A and B are shown apart, each in its own frame.
Chain A
Amino acid sequence: MHPSPSGAAAPPDHPQPRSPRDLFVSFTWLALQGFGGVLAIVQREMVEKKKWLTPEQFLEDWAVAQVMPGPNVINLGLMIGDRYFGLRGALAAVAGMLTIPLVVILALAVLYAHYAANPQVAGALRGMGAVSGGLIAATGIKLLPQLRRHPLGFATCLAFVALVFGAIAGLKVPLGWVLLAVGGVACVWTWRKIAP
């Protein structure tokens, strides 16, 4: 088991945001790349490029962000910002994710009123939607190898992945129930496995 290194406990070679301003700019840039959701971008920027999070930390933080109320990526930004600069960092990350994208989306809403009927515009939106679905699915696929070191074992983890996928994508079970039932079983099972 490896409790996540973070905050003061982080090794000095672990890349970190330099300041709340760095957080604001990084999350603004990150949000502006996220068409149809920011999640795929968070993984690419925070884990692969800036390395502010390890893949394990991303998976753990994402789980927490997912079960708390509120937009997931906002929760994730809040947690990352808070970890390095406390409340100021949390506010900087959330403000970065919302401010400029809000201006952009208002401009788009005004433009949309003019061009909604144009078939090329509708086609472009459809194409981007198909790609963004692929981006998010790939984010999950890339995290699969992390499960090899899981206390439940790789095969059991894959069964849980398949179960969740089938319930949400196939049977359209409401998310709350899936989290409660499948997540509950997985957590209790893990709790028993990591007994001291």
Chain B
Amino acid sequence: MTIAMQWHDWLALFGQYLLLSLLSISGAITTVPDMHRYLVAQHGWLTDAQFSSSVAIAQAAPGPNVLFVALMGWNVGLNAGGGIGAGPMAWLLGFFGLMVTMVGIMVPSTTLTYFATRWGHRNRTRREVRAFKQGMAPVVVGLLIATGWVLAAGNHAGNAPAWHLWLLTGVAALIVWRTRIHLLWLLGAGALLGAVGFV
């Protein structure tokens, strides 16, 4: 896929990610639907397949999930340069696109968090601040368990829910809960079981 990106297109892309950054309460993943609307439906800068593979690869790869944003920028740049086969100029544009989306999604939220948490820390003995932090504790625990559940259930998309997958998720949770085994062993075991077709 080849697209034409003018400088004002890049600027608009940057502005959109600056805005989404401030809306990404509880993680960039919550802004995925809006990114799809902007990049795929409205501007046609990415194909549907490029969009969903960007999210899927970031989920499977090591590192924070927000890196899916980098892959989106990378793909927009590649498309602007005529595709990955078009040579170094396309890769350079891909890298430029990656910086545009990553800087856009990171700077506003981290700046806000930096100053807000400093304020919170200076005022940590105030009753409101303590009530907020302690009051949120049970909510956070519930969210963590729910996130694990949603991620595990997401693997079933497309095919019938498989008890093998739930068993694997449950056993992994039990082992992490009860032992101090290194987490990479568990992920490796999951990859192996998947590759040989057990799950």
Contact = CB atoms under 8 A, between A and B. Distances in A.
Interface of A: 1, 3-4, 6-7, 31-41, 44, 48, 59-60, 62-75, 78-79, 82-83, 87, 90, 94, 97-98, 101-102, 104-106, 108-110, 112-113, 116, 119-144, 146-147, 150-152, 156-158, 160-165, 168-169, 175-176, 178-179, 182-183, 186-191, 194-196
Contact of A150 (B59, B117, B137): B137
Contacts of B47: none
Interface of B: 21-28, 30, 53-54, 56-67, 70-71, 74, 84, 98, 102, 106, 108-110, 112-114, 116-118, 120-121, 124-125, 127-128, 130-155, 165-166, 168-177, 180, 183-184, 186-187, 189-199
B151 A179 contact: no
A10 to B, nearest CB: 12
B62 A126 contact: no
25 contacts: A37-B59, A38-B63, A68-B113, A69-B112, A75-B109, A75-B113, A75-B117, A78-B110, A78-B114, A98-B67, A104-B62, A110-B84, A127-B194, A129-B151, A129-B155, A130-B190, A130-B194, A137-B149, A142-B176, A143-B144, A150-B138, A164-B141, A176-B25, A191-B131, A194-B127
Contacts, number: 385
Q: Which of B21, B134, B147, B170 has the most CB of A within 10 A?
A: B134
Contact of A64 (B65, B120, B153, B154): B120
Contacts of A59: 137, 140-141
B127 A196 contact: yes
Contact of A69 (B23, B117, B149, B186): B23
Contact of A4 (B26, B116, B124): B124
Dominant secondary structure at the A interface: helix
B174 to A, nearest CB: 8
B21 A67 contact: no
A39 to B, nearest CB: 7
A142 B28 CA distance: 25
Contact of B84 (A62, A113, A164): A113
B113 A161 contact: no
Given A68-B113, A78-B114, A36 B151 contact: yes
A165 B141 CA distance: 9
Contacts of A101: 61-64, 67
Contacts of A176: 25-26, 30
Contacts of A123: 194-197, 199
A136 B194 contact: no
Contact of A194 (B23, B26, B131): B131
Contact of A190 (B71, B135, B151, B193): B135
Contacts of A191: 127-128, 131, 135
A63 B165 contact: no
B117 A68 contact: yes
Contacts of B187: 35, 128, 131-132, 135
A194 B88 CA distance: 62
